[in-house]
Structure 1
Amino acid sequence: MTDDAELLEALLVEGRDLVGRAAEDLAELARGPDAREALDGLFRSLHTLKGSTALFDLPVLTGLLHAAESRLEGLRDGGGLDDETAGDITGVLDVTETWFDVLEAGSEPGATLLQAAAALTVRLAGGAPGRDCLENAVPKSPVNIPTWAAALARAQAPGEAVVAVRYRPDAEAYFRGDDPLAVAHALPGLRALEVGLDGAPPPKAAYDPFHCRLLLHVLCAAPEAAVRAALRLVSDQVEVVRLDAGETAEPADLAEAAEEVEAGPLRAAAQTARVSTARLDDVAALIDELVIAKNALDHAAAQLAALAPPGAAARDLALRQATLDRLVSDLHGAVGDLRMVSLRGLFGRFPRHVREAAARLGKTVDFQTAGQDVALDKTVVDALFEPLLHLLRNALDHGVEAPDERRGAGKPEAARVRLAAYPAGEAVVIEVSDDGRGVDPAAVRDRAIERGLVDEATAGRLSEAEAAELIFAAGFSTARQVGEFSGRGVGMDSVRAALAGLGGRVDLDNRPGEGLTVRLTLPARTVLARVLVVEAGGERFGVPLEAVGETHRVRADEVTAIRAGRAYVRRDQVIPILRLRALLGLGEAPDPAVFPVLTVTAAGGALGVQVDALGERLEAPLRPTSGLLKGFRGLLGSMLQGDGRILLVLNLAEMAA
């Protein structure tokens, strides 16, 4: 990755986070016009976005954000948030997010996006042409050196190229959390600093200590790009002029300027470094390879121990193996900690999708988020967008009633849909909840029977909670016709499969007539997959330990034939039983007198899976499938065994569905 690309990646990460924060503050402001803290937060987000985009020569986008910031000034002066302003600011956030998508794809904004930005800028400016704010969004050095810059030049060393800065902080700088003196002191190559008042001092009676009236003049012996980079958050409050003396040393690119800014005193005090996610991914992959190598060493040591008599050497080897296991595990955990990111950026992507889906469905929705600062492994966060988007659309389409239906049920016309996250020990729980109609177990039973997913006898034995779980069956849908968001039979089963691939699970909290909560439980950090090795048809397979309820041995005479299937009774519960051989197409074989069975939870309740033998437990990285095996039903991934052979890891519940 080039340095310019690293800077752009930083803009996209920071920018999307700011868009998400702004969307949250705007929603809070819409619910309570007196939410001063939300207004200040929204203003700060737009202000920072404007400064960041100005650094990348995006005058149209910067001008749009400048116009939005100016519109918010009226609210800070006591005006209320009207529907027009709320809609315009929402449009600004949508355009900004779309612009980031275009930049990430390596493309240039098309005519449609540019026209949308221009139209919004005009509207935000009260119908004025808006050309000034677009042209003035990125500060440019004037051709003639102004008087203030010429005065600063007297402090210039002979033969030294410097940059003069005139910094007039905004009057509300203190309320925004800006520290003008700290900003000036952090400039690279600081040579001179003059601090004065902007204009004549006010009368004593009118003096306001919280009103910033400073005027700062700064001289820096640094490239102009580096100075502008350091001032990107206050770019609308500064004038920058380059004063040449002999040859001017310009940085090769923006990355060099950024390096000089990173070396400033504020950054140095933080003792932090920005590392690209690609490099962290490379390190994580190396750690995974180290775990595999460690497992191979364990396998070799076990073979050696079987050949050699026990003694001091064997005990010493076992001790060193235990130390190596601990160090590798600690190293894997430390790298996992580095990959932790908050959910704020992910959650910030959903308000627009919810708003658009609700509008298309003709429903009024109050969308709320909570727990955005909860952190998860970046790989998990990246993989959660599609499952969460499906759950939200499902809530809007199937869960939330139409406004007239809600009024008839005595509910508020605006439905509540909530996306929340919270830590739970070593796991993180993400909930998608709504106050809609919930899941009708009887209707789900009938629909599952109609689609041939369960027979009537099985459906009749299901409890209400088990019947509700049928919505996770492959091909299940309550929609009678295909719509934009439903009816294709690709639904909640894909959500459960995606969560299983991430080492998580999905649970329902169903309240018929009152609402539904879909609860996703995920490991907070990337952990090594723990599987139980089983044998079937002469082959070895892995089953995730968290998917196995229990293992036990069943006598052949305890199994009863039921129609085309088989079942046995355990703890007064009838449990259907399937042969793993048959599920995998590995041929038939006579059942032994006693055989091992795994119990798992499937869409129809508890299920027994008969295997030929149980093996050891294995802990190793789980690799996603690729090539011909990609998308193979019931296959979670693969891992390497200690002897170097590949072990396929199965999703038994999905295979049995």
Structure 2
Amino acid sequence: MDDLLQHFIVEARELVQQATDSLLALERESTIVAHLDSAFRAVHTLKGSVGLFDFAPMALALHAAEDLLGALKGAEARIDNDAIDILLECISQAERWVGAIEQTGQLPRDAGEEGYRLARALRSQLDEGSAQAAPIVPEADVGWINDLLSAGFDRIDLRAHNTGLIAIRYTPRADCFFAGDDPLALLRSVPDLVAVRMGNREPLPLAAEIDPFSCNLRIEALSCAGFDAVKTVFRFVPDQVAIHEVARRDTADPHGDGPHGSPVRDTSAVGATGSRTLRVDATRIDRLADLVGEMVVAKNSLAHLATSSGEGTDRNDLVQGILASQAVIERLVADMHRTVMDVRMMPMRDIFRRFPRAVRDTAGQLGKLIDFAMEGEDVEADKSVVEGLFEPLLHVLRNAIAHGAEPENIRLEAGKPTGTRIVLRARREGDRVIVEVSDDGRGVDPASIRQVALERGVAPRDRIERMSDAEAMELIFVPGFSTASEITDLSGRGVGMDAVRSAVERLGGQVGVQSVLGRGTTIRFSLPLTIVMTKVMAVRVGGETYGIPIDGVLETAFVPASRILPIQEAEAFVLRDRTLPLVRLANLLGILGNADPGRGSKVLIMSVGGERVGVAVDGFAERMDVLMRPMSGILAGTPGVMGTTLLGDGSVLMILDIPELIG
């Protein structure tokens, strides 16, 4: 992908987001001219950028959107929900097209038909008469292909061709002659035509009313040429043509799927995710460049020491020089680490801005009135953390709308505002970032949770009945648990809060839920600021050294043997008048420990599933910042191991996942 196209993709995403934000703001405050001006500027700039490339369908739709926004600015059209809806639909389609361009370098094959449909729908807001003059062909309307095949298939000898068929529907504009287009000349340019059917787009008027300068054709054809060869013929009229690839018929089986065994194949799928980009403040790059310069100086200083070491330099002077260089390099490495982390930091705004549209669409689909707000958009976290939060947050927001928001009449009876208040907020707490989704809806009913858990056999009845309300609410994180009574696009499919917890835990975070029946629910994510560098505590067990993420370590303690109590086949101990379960890391790893339990145990007090647990080890080592690498190859997915890192002596330190080992 060339640099110009890459720059276009980055800029296009920003303009799409600007247009979306402005349109949503315009929907809330239709009298604020600044919102309309901002949307118009974004669409106008994006249309101009698209014009630099051969993306005519995208330009056609954006041009129509620009015309509609211009009419809204000039009060020639009315700002209403229909206008906002079709404009947002156009912007969403533009975003999908940008994604396809990033992955394949070109628009999807159905872009011409989709661009024409959007343009007609947008212009229908300006001129209802013109909208009815030519009906819109829905994207899924491909029945004409089967009709064409049925009418002319017997005259097509596919055995002479190794490829499938390309179906073409060309509907020239009424004013195409004035644009210099010759529909029949274009048709003759299509290679390997095997069938043609021509008709009129509109019912034929009386002979006296026929306009000889208005084109009223609809041309349908089949070609055995390749898709790209056909597309090239119509490259200047992509808004007027629909091109579909039809799977080749098995001539030995005339009774396949669809008419004559020739189902239409969807060719709009795109490949895997393209390259990712990160926009960085220039001052941070300047700081990195300065640090690199200082590191070059430190390297030259070491080179000078290495050269002078063989020239009779006093040993003490040499040692002092090496120690001084080591101190400088350590400082520079620490500064480099902080600066690189700053480069990777991005504000929560980058994903928060994507949620107002999703909330609007979900609320509209469910018929709920939602008052959505966001706080802490300037809070920064590592790029991988911010990007990894989108899917779990989207799921939680949809849950808040689908399950938390009550109908308006029920809210009024309870003395609440008609619209359910949902707040997405982020804040910094020490070296962690807290992200919450709060609503003032119906809340989580522990009794209902217990009932569903019993019906689905999530846990034994006696255990469920002994659970506190807080423990019962934790059941929503059990795989497959759902309180939805029916399956919809949004809920009831058995993919619920367990997927949210798994996604957050992959980022090194934890998920908690707080709820008061009738007053609302808060889902809280606690995440590290960065998952590139990890603080670990090294511990010794059975002659080996392991790393444990320090985020989960609350404190360390030495527990005398007299305080360790056997409980059936397990152990517990008392710490500050509180009884905590004790597990021995050697037993979890299946190795023989070196510590003497009779003298007491060195214990890590850790938070596991919201509860405090003691983990006994043979000894403590140092704390360190490490660059953790996930397990790969045949070791990928090894239970209880988060990853590895290299120590200064070249040995490998395994970093353990204690909650998974205990679970």
2:583 to 578, 581, 591: 578
For residue 418 of structure 1, give the secondary structure of its aligned residue in structure 2. Answer: strand
1:35 partnered with 2:32: yes
2:409 aligned with 1:401, yes or no?
Answer: no
Partner of 2:164 in structure 1?
A: none
- The equivalent of 2:148 in structure 1 is none
CA deviation map 1:243-284 (0-9, x unaligned):
xxxxxxxxxxxxxxxxxxxxxxxxxxxxxx98899xx9xx99
Matched, 1:651 2:648: no
Match of 1:439 in 2: 444
Report the structure number with the largest CA radius of gyration: 2
Kindly state the Cα deviation for residue 404 of structure 1 after the two structures are TM-superposed. 5.7
Structure 1 residues 598 and 471: CA distance shift in structure 2, 3 A: farther
CA distance in 2, matches of 1:132, 1:372: 47
Alignment of 1:128-143 (within 5 A): 128=130
Q: Distance in 2 between matches of 1:501 and 1:465?
A: 24
Report the secondary structure of 1:390's partner residue.
helix
Partner of 2:60: 63
Q: How far off its partner does 1:532 sit? A: 0.4
Letter of the 2:100 counterpart:
V
Pairwise mapping of residues 324-363 of structure 1 onto structure 2 (< 5 A)?
A: 324-358=329-363, 361=366, 363=368
Superposition deviation, residue 328 in structure 1: 0.6
Please tell me whether the aligned partners of residues 346 and 385 of structure 1 are also in contact (alpha carbons under 8 angstroms).
yes
State the percentage of identical aligned residues: 40
Q: Distance in 1 between matches of 2:432 and 2:336?
A: 20
Post-superposition Cα deviations, 1:376-420, rounded to whole Å, max 9, x if no partner, equal 433333322222223223323433335565455444454333333
| Mean Cα deviation higher: 618-627 or 357-366 | 357-366
Q: Which residue of 1 aligns with 2:386?
A: 381
Contact kept? 1:580, 1:609, Cα under 8 Å:
yes
- Describe the shift of the 1:336–1:640 C-alpha distance in structure 2 as closer, same or farther (beyond 3 A): same
Alpha-carbon distance in structure 1 between the residues aligned to 2:174 and 2:582: 71
Contact 1:66 1:133 in 2 (8 A): no
Output the CA distance in 2 between the equivalents of 1:8 and 1:579: 57
Q: What CA distance in whole angstroms lies between the structure 1 residues aligned with 2:628 and 2:119? A: 49
Give the corresponding residue for 2:203: none
- Give the CA deviation at 1:554: 1.7
Match of 2:626 among 620, 623, 631: 620
- Give the Å deviation of 1:22: 2.1
Provide the residue aligned with 1:264 in structure 2: none
1:537 CA displacement:
4.3
- Show the counterpart of 1:269: none
- Residue 610 of structure 1 is matched in structure 2 by 616
Shift of the 133–322 alpha-carbon distance from structure 1 to 2, 3 Å rule, reads farther
SS at 1:616's partner residue? strand
> Cα gap change, 1:331/1:407 in structure 2, threshold over 3 Å: closer, same or farther?
same
Structure 2 residue aligned with 1:198 = none
- Equivalent runs, 1:459-470 vs 2, <5 Å: 468=473
**Residues 355-364 or 511-520, more deviating:** 355-364
Report the Cα distance in structure 1 between the residues aligned to 2:645 and 2:577, rounded to whole angstroms: 37
Counterpart-to-counterpart distance in 1, 2:326 and 2:336: 15
Displacement of 1:439 = 3.1
Gap regions ≥5 residues in structure 2: 135-171, 177-277, 303-314
What are the within-5 Å matches in structure 2 for residues 45-444 of structure 1? 45-78=42-75, 80-106=78-104, 108-110=106-108, 112-126=110-124, 127=128, 128=130, 317-358=322-363, 361=366, 363-402=368-407, 405-406=410-411, 409-422=414-427, 428-441=433-446, 444=449
Change (3 A) 1:515 1:275: closer
Distance (Å, rounded) in 2 between the aligned partners of 1:417 and 1:424:
22
1-structure distance, mates of 2:281, 2:510: 30
- In structure 2, what is the Cα distance between the partners aligned to 1:374 and 1:650? 29
Give the Cα–Cα distance (whole angstroms) in 1 for the partners of residues 608 and 175 of structure 2: 59
The C-alpha deviation readout for 1:292-316, integer Å capped at 9, x for no partner, is xx9xx9xxxxxxxxxxxx9887666
Report the CA distance between 1:373 and its aligned residue. Answer: 4.9
2-structure distance, mates of 1:511, 1:557: 42
Amino acid at match of 1:74: A
| Structure 2 counterpart of 1:638, from 637, 644, 658 | 644
Q: What SS class does the counterpart of residue 104 from structure 2 fall into?
A: coil
Q: Which residue of 2 aligns with 1:541?
A: 546
Question: Cα deviations across residues 591-617 of structure 1 (Å, max 9, x unaligned)?
Answer: 612112212222252122222322221
Q: Which amino acid aligns with 1:71?
A: L
Q: TM-score, normalised by structure 1?
A: 0.64
Partner of 2:245: none
Give the Cα–Cα distance (whole angstroms) in 2 for the partners of residues 16 and 576 of structure 1.
51
CA shift in 2, pair 1:32/1:342, >3 Å: same
Match of 2:563 in 1: 558
SS at match of 2:57: helix
**Structure 2 SS opposite 1:119:** helix
Q: Which residue of 1 aligns with 2:241?
A: none
Question: Gaps spanning 5+ residues in structure 1: where?
Answer: 136-272, 298-309
Q: Is the partner of 1:510 in helix, strand or coil?
A: strand
Matches within 5 A, 1:587-602: 592-593=597-598, 594-602=600-608
Contact 1:95 1:113 in 2 (8 A): no
Over 3 Å counting, the alpha-carbon distance change for 1:551 and 1:427 in structure 2 is closer
Higher relative contact order (CA 8 A, sep 6+): 1
Change (3 A) 1:634 1:321: same
The answer as to whether partners of 2:348 and 2:378 remain within 8 angstroms in 1 is yes
* Structure 2 partner of 1:236: none
Go from structure 1 to structure 2 and tell me whether the alpha carbon gap of 1:510 and 1:634 turns closer, same or farther (over 3 Å shift): farther
| Cα distance, 1:74–1:320 mapped onto 2, change above 3 Å | same
User: Counterpart of 1:172?
Assistant: none
**1:625–1:636 contact (8 Å) kept in structure 2:** yes
- The whole-number CA distance in structure 1 between the counterparts of 2:586 and 2:399 is 36
Q: Is the 8 A contact 2:594 2:618 kept in 1?
A: no
Between the aligned partners of 1:458 and 1:572, the Cα distance in structure 2 is 27
